Structure 1
Amino acid sequence: MDIRQLQTVIAVVDTGSLAAAASVVNITPSAVSQQIQTLEGELGVALFDRTKRPLQLNAKGEEFVRAARVIVQTMTETRMIISGGRTAGVLNFGAIRTVSTHLVPEAFVEMRASFPELTFEMTVGMSEGLVANVAAGRLDAALVAEHVGIPAGLVWSPILTEPLVIIAPPGNEGRSEISLLRDLPFIRYATSVPLARQIATELSRLSVTPREIGVTNTMPAVVGMVQAGLGVALVPRIATYNLPPEALYCRPFCDDAITRCVGLVQRQVSSRSTVLAALRKELSDRVMFIG
């Protein structure tokens, strides 16, 4: 077994075909097939379910590719260190939408000073999917919401704890949250994520049944509808970050008693541990600045 075989298997998984993988690792499709067969022979197990098209990993293959990604990344970084080079390559990072527009990009900017040869690839998605991608090795880490199951082998550390706020169009200054929710149309955030469920729970707890006028599945769209004057909404405070004060009327919801937590999930053993420790610090510093 050598690193070229590992890189080939990873390329097949990431591209979904032998032909596409061949162009990535710069060999012929037949050579890709031969490398996989040789590797499976050395391991004594099949890695792919060959009854399916495109090729799909079986359970043993999933385990192998997770380990292979770590090995390839570790060897790459070790070569850099030994040769006197600096940390380079791509940091594959995931983020939920509410932190992807400002918090994470600003942390990336600060990271450039310490890791000028590092590049960033950010995947925006839902917490459950992002955690699954970290576990599978497709992402180095992700910023996800609390209350998501964390599989064995991963660790989650809190970064941001923020209150929910109620936002309304300008001109509603001084009105209570109950008055806003009862008198103005409501814009509902509708996705299968913890935040949407949390908002629905709090409305139920207050025995308030808002009159819905809009439903959308992204938080920026929720904020945009409120800015346009369509109605009111409940959002995490970071959703209003960088908006001018006159753009919205924003007040604490339940006196800041209702919060949600976002944290960094990564593998317990990661070849990117140094980079991720620096990123965690930059994210925490940005949170303090935003707060």
Structure 2
Amino acid sequence: MDLRQLQTLVAVADTGSFAAAAGVVNLTPSAISQQIQSLEAEIGAQLFDRKKRPRQLNAQGEELVRAARSVVQTLTEARMTIAGGRTAGVLKLGAIRTVSMRLVPEALRGMRGRYPDLGFEMTVGMSERLMADVAAGRLDAALVAEHVGVPATLSWSPVLNEPLVIIAPPQEAWRSEVSLLRDLPFIRYATDVPLARQIETELSGLSIVPREVAVANTMPAVVGLVQAGLGVAVVPRIATLHGGPALHCRPFRDGAITRRVGLVQRQVSSRSRVLTELREILSEVALHRGLVLDPTPGRPGAA
């Protein structure tokens, strides 16, 4: 097999069809088909399920695509290094929504200063999906919540350890934590992500039952409802950094409840050096924003 065949395979996987891949690698659809057939003959296995239209990668094809992405990227970067070139290409980064609005943009601004020829592609999604995209090679790395299972092929390094806080309209600042949660309407963050489950778990451990007035499935919406004066909510500190009307904000349970977010990447990655610098910059931004850095490396357990 050669590099051109691997590039073609990756293009087919990314675009979903031979016809669309042809435009990416500047070949005709028939030439794409010939390259794939040649690759299958060399591998000794079919890479696509030909019973489906459009054709879909089978298990063997998915495995080869993961390897092909790494090979193509490694060879491209090696050529640039040998030729004296600078790190270029596109860094594909995933991020959960709460860190995508300020933390990641500020970190990428710092990365741009170090790598002016490097472009960025950010995908916002849920931790489990982002983790799967990193494992499959569709993303170079992703910022995900702690309480998700990390496959053995990936590594997870903490970036921030931030407190959960109670937010309320400014005029309610005189109330105690118990009064805020017992006497004021509550706005619940409801979506299938680790953060929502963590908040629900902590609330269930209290001896009071909040009076729910509204439900929202994004953190900006939760914060917006509180800013509009509808009630109170429990959110991560980072959610209060996005501007807008003033809020009363205090640590939930005296700051004892925190959530960790870390950078997940493949154990073996040609982007390791760049990702190490990205994690350092993310940690610096988090520390500057009051999102306490947890310097202890590790991997979370399964949720």
User: What residue ranges of structure 1 are gaps of 5+ in the alignment?
Assistant: none
Does residue 268 of the first structure (1) align with residue 237 of the second (2)?
Answer: no
- Following TM superposition, by how much is the alpha carbon of 1:211 offset from its aligned partner in structure 2, in angstroms? 1.4
* Helix, strand or coil at the partner of 1:116: coil
TM-score for both structures, normalised by structure 1: 0.98
Farther off after superposition, 38-47 or 179-188: 179-188
Q: Distance in 2 between matches of 1:60 and 1:152?
A: 19
Structure 1 residue aligned with 2:278:
279
1:167 match: 167
- Residue 23, structure 1, aligned to residue 18, structure 2: no
**TM-score normalised to the size of structure 2?**
0.94
Within 2, Cα distance between the matches of 1:35 and 1:207? 65
Question: What do the CA deviations read for 1:164-200 (whole angstroms, capped 9, x no partner)?
Answer: 0000012011211111111111111111111100111
Match of 2:114?
114
Q: How many residue pairs align between the two structures?
A: 290
Partner SS for 1:156: strand
Displacement of 1:231 in angstroms is: 1.0
Q: Could you say which residue in structure 2 is the equivalent of 1:253?
A: 252
Does the residue aligned with 2:260 lie in a helix, a strand or coil?
A: strand
Query: Which residue does the alignment assign to 1:186?
Result: 186
The equivalent of 2:98 in structure 1 is: 98
CA drift of 1:242 comes to 4.4
Aligned equivalents of 2:4, 2:207: Cα separation in 1: 61
SS at match of 1:247: coil
Percent identity between matched residues is 73
* Structure 1 Cα separation of the partners of residues 63 and 93 of structure 2: 21
The alpha-carbon deviation at position 54 of structure 1 amounts to 2.2
CA distance in structure 2 between the aligned counterparts of 1:115 and 1:212, rounded to whole angstroms? 48
- Counterparts of 1:14-53 in structure 2, within 5 Å, are 14-53=14-53
Instruction: Assess, with a 3 A threshold, how the Cα gap between structure 1 residues 213 and 73 changes in structure 2: closer, same or farther.
Output: same
Per mean C-alpha deviation after superposition, the further-off stretch among 249-258 and 205-214 is 205-214
Matches within 5 A, 1:142-153: 142-153=142-153
| Counterpart residue identity of residue 289, structure 2 | I
What SS does the aligned partner of 1:10 have? helix
**Distance in 2 separating the partners of 1:56 and 1:219:** 36
What does the per-residue CA deviation read over 1:239-272, in whole Å, with 9 as the maximum and x for residues that have no partner? 111437x610111100000111000000011011
CA RMSD of aligned residues (A): 1.0
Give the corresponding residue for 1:79. 79
Amino acid aligned to 1:23: G
